[in-house]
Chain A
Amino acid sequence: MNELVLILLTVFSALVFPGLLTLWIASMLSEWWVRKLFARTQRRMGPSYVGPLGILQPFADFLKLLLVKTEPNYKYGSVRLARVFGCIGLGALTASLFLLPISPVRIAFNYDVILFIYFLGVWVAVSELLMFTSLTNPFTIKGVSRFSSILVVAEPAFFTATIVPVYLVSLVMKKEPVFSISTTAETVWGLWTNPLTAIPMLLATIASLISIQSKLMFSPFNIPEAEQELIAGVETEFSGPLLALFNFLHDADLYVLSLVVTFLFLGGPHPFSNNLVLGVLTIILKYLIVLTTITVLKSSFGRFRIEQGISTIIKYAFIPALIALILSIVVASFT
């Protein structure tokens, strides 16, 4: 009986909360927030017509692309392959949510951070790259070349930054299970109250935000899509339902990565961990702060050239993340 309940709960978690359905709704709402805020910084209206304040516009865009437009019938690539990799990317994002303390079925064990990096770092990035290359085009390949170059530095920077709070919680705060995402999310706030651990935490937070910016191809790292310069870069051949799938994958990546920062760096529901309503409101508030920071960064810069983009990620994300990790090791060795 218990096994049956566990299986049903797992299926519910994978498909409803925090799985596909919630992923879709939260991704679309995040897209609305980014689009609206980005438009307001440019004195435009942004999404306005569908729903109050245009909040339903991303849903309408998604459904129109999926239900009304037709898929390309492409001679030089495989549309089916692009579909498969788009879906695998979404599946990997869903799987990584099981390690955060929002899932009804939560997985926590020693060193589960490795599994987290495997699903969120390897599978999502590989799926995106293979989805792009499934539809060949000179502009796409140029965009993929730029995207893969960015990932070479952005992924290590993000996961080095992620390891900092995990390391400090395990070795300074001595929480168990060690090197666990879930344990870190529940106790990370304590690191901000200690001046010795607050410095590496600050560096790691900055590094994670900049690397998210580059992983999501937001300005100034919108080099892989480089509108006008490369037509639409990696997205050149995407249209109709396939474009809807890619937009969903991109927005879901934005949602999950921002949620990771909310939990692993900002402490999730803290200080209202014991109050469901206030806890959820706190998570939403912190999530919106992360999303707003990303959008403000996006609207503050013009597009870099690829080598400028890579050196910026190395200077402001990878090196701070490494310094934060070294500081964490030093702090842990003295406590």
Chain B
Amino acid sequence: MTSLNLDPWTATLFLSSVLVLSSLVMYLIYVSLSRKTIQTSSEYSEPYIGGESVTAIRSVDVSVRNLFWGIVRGAGRRLYTFLRDQMHNGVLNDWGVYMVTYIGLLVLVALIYFTR
């Protein structure tokens, strides 16, 4: 057994490489073994909605607002409304600003921590 005492950065890279390697091998096995699709009828590519056609529903997709509704109903309704309205309002630019700010903050914390 080989025990590696790596620093956190190298260990993260090492395990990420393991993740990529095993995912890739699994994907190749899957693609090479699984059978290709045979299109038999147009119904084959429709979603299953209890036997109804897609026109029976307003949208195949459901809004992201419906995610986490169990938690929202039980607790956190105010917190969820705040997060949804202030941070994740569906505008891509706002989402970009939020993510860049957050990642920037993480980089700042990392720099302060590692350059002490």
Interfacial residues, chain A to chain B (CB-CB below 8 A): 6, 9-11, 13-15, 19-20, 66-77, 83-84, 86-88, 90-92, 94-96, 98-99, 103-109, 111-112, 114-115, 118-119, 123, 135-139, 141-142, 144-146, 148-150, 152-153, 177, 182, 231, 236-237, 240-241, 244-245, 306-307, 309-311
Beyond known contacts A69-B35, A111-B8, A138-B49: 11 more, CB 8 A cutoff: A14-B25, A74-B47, A75-B47, A87-B23, A105-B2, A108-B3, A109-B7, A115-B15, A145-B70, A240-B34, A244-B34
**Which B residues touch A146, using CB under 8 A?**
70
Contact partner of A145 (CB less than 8 A), chosen from B3, B25, B69, is B69
Q: Bound complex: CA of A108 vs CA of B5, how far in Å?
A: 5
Of B48, B61, B71, which one neighbours A141 at CB under 8 angstroms? B61
B22 touches which of A9, A67, A91, A114 (Cβ 8 Å): A91
Contact A75 B68 (CB under 8 A): no
Q: How many residues of chain B have a CB within 8 Å of chain A? A: 52
Neighbouring A residues of B44 by C-beta, 8 Å: 72-73
> Are A91 and B20 in contact (CB-based, < 8 A)?
yes
Q: What CA separation (Å) do A306 and B68 show in the bound complex?
A: 10
**Residues of B with C-beta under 8 A to A104:** 1-2
Q: Which among A6, A71, A118 is the interface contact of B36 at CB below 8 angstroms? A: A71
The residue on A at minimum CB distance from B73 is A307
Report if A14-B15 is in contact (Cβ < 8 Å); known contacts: A90-B26, A107-B6.
Answer: no
Interface residues of B in 1-56 (CB under 8 A from A): 1-8, 11-12, 14-16, 18-27, 30-31, 33-39, 44-50, 54
Q: CA–CA, A49 to B1, complex, Å?
A: 39
Which residue in A9, A105, A135, A177 is a CB contact (below 8 Å) of B5?
A: A177
Please determine whether A14 and B61 come into contact, CB atoms closer than 8 angstroms: no
Query: How long is the Cα–Cα vector from A144 to B62 in the complex, in angstroms?
Result: 11
